[in-house]
Chains A and B, each alone.
Chain A
Amino acid sequence: GFPEALVRGMRSGFLSDQDYHHLTQCDTLEDVKMNLAETDYGAGVLNEPTLTPLIMQERATEKLVTDFNYLRANAVEPLGKFMDFITYEYMIENVMLLLRGTISGRNVNELIAQCHPLGMFKESTMRTIPTFEANARGYAELYEVVLVDTPVGPYFQQYLDSIASGVSVAGDVRNVLEEVQIEILKHSLMKLYLEDFYFFCKSLGGETAEIMCPILSARADRNAINITLNSFGTPLNDPTMRETERKNLYPSIGDLYPAGLELLSKVDDDQKLGAALNAFPIYRTIFDKFLNLSPDEFSIDDEFYRKEVHLCEL
């Protein structure tokens, strides 16, 4: 019906290989503008006196957001819910940005300008988020006052329940974690969000499940590996912390669940991580490259991103 036709139209508006080929042959910014004029991006860049990468990115994001909102306005359930799930990811990122920004003491207006447009809350909500403290009590207050009305409220609720139950055990190490608390919050929220999205897609069944579930699994695995990698050398890597805190951050979906995650929760350096990934050939190849090449030639994030894009293209 109507949304399907809209999506097809938007899909055919993507820049093709030929467009990119022409763009690489341009010598000046004027040429680039001329080449873009015939595509869907032409309207955005037409009136710019100078074209910088930043402006290009802004215009492209604007176009994405406009198209996304148009489609969302015309979508019926369950497409509407699916599209909302996509925005939750950006909402979580925005909340994290605002919280992190307050810790470093930046201006609220600057932070709001940097938020991703697909995950915006109401203006008033955005302004009150930075006023909360970045500790456990602050988060509880933040939730009760602001976030309970937003769609990401349930994820906060689950996170707060989990730390409330563990507070008696981990109370004495809470001070150690003051700096990493934000990261842990973000990873926990992402884990809950990914699981929710995964089960939603599964319940829709059919082609949605076939295509979305591998993508979400790959994302979950990538998060798990990244968490493990980034935790080497931080307090999170102590044997006591590993079992309780780090393991809680791994999502319970994906190829690595449950056997791989068991192995991952026991490693504490790169070599052991490589050994743990032996059973999963795809991740093993990526990780081998990471171990053998220097960071200049190879970035593990790029590899994962490439794999995810490949899955999305199918």
Chain B
Amino acid sequence: MMMMLQQAMSWGDVLMGIDPHSYAALGVAFAIGLSVVGAAWGIGLTGASLVGAAVKAPRIRSKNLISIIFCEAVAIYGVIMAIILLNKFNSGSGKSATVTYQDHFAGFAIFASGLTVGLSNLACGICVGITGSGCALADAQESSMFVKILIVEIFGSALGLFGVIVGIIQSADGSFQ
């Protein structure tokens, strides 16, 4: 392609010109990287409120660790997904010199799967963080509020699970030749 300078390059050429292995590597990076950002942000939000509310109401400490565990679960989804994707990510048999259709498919599948999981875990982590912070504050005022707000958190953490399910289906067929 470099020699055909007379022919106009299109975006399609640019995107297809990138090696599928780099797409796959980026996918793995997004899967774990964005998930951890979401989990960390969530734990930061919840932890700050938890510690502050526990100054005046120490009884809430143990129960509200559940919120932190929900946020941590988001990071674990990201790790699991990244490991699954890494298993698909190999250099192939190394026999063919040209990039085949199968390789392109694998590259795109792993990239998209990683992006799906990463972005949905990012959103899920922040969501659970904000809700967990509210849960700690409400629990400090009124003990009966804890269980009710926990339900909101459970709905929030389901979002991450949706992302993982879709990601697994997306990357199921991809494998490098």
Contacts and interface: CB of A to CB of B under 8 A. Distances in A.
Interface of A: 1-6, 8-10, 12-13
B56 A10 contact: yes
Contacts of A1: 45, 48-49, 52, 133
B contact face: mostly helix, strand, loop, or mixed: helix
B53 A9 contact: yes
Contacts of B48: 1-2, 5
Contacts of A8: 52-53, 56, 137, 140-141
Given A8-B137, A8-B140, A8-B141, A2 B56 contact: no
Contact of A12 (B45, B133, B136, B141): B141
B51 interface: yes
Interface of B: 45, 48-53, 55-57, 133, 136-137, 140-141
Contacts of B55: 5-6, 9
Contact of B136 (A5, A6, A10, A13): A5
A3 B141 contact: no
A9 B57 contact: yes
A8 B56 CA distance: 9
A13 to B, nearest CB: 7
Nearest to B52: A5
A5 B52 CA distance: 5
Contacts of A12: 56, 140-141
15 contacts: A1-B45, A1-B48, A1-B133, A4-B52, A4-B137, A5-B53, A6-B52, A6-B55, A8-B52, A8-B56, A8-B141, A9-B55, A9-B56, A12-B56, A12-B140
| Closest 7 pairs (CB-CB, A-B) | A5-B52, A9-B56, A5-B53, A2-B52, A1-B48, A2-B48, A5-B49
A208 B52 CA distance: 22
A236 B123 CA distance: 65
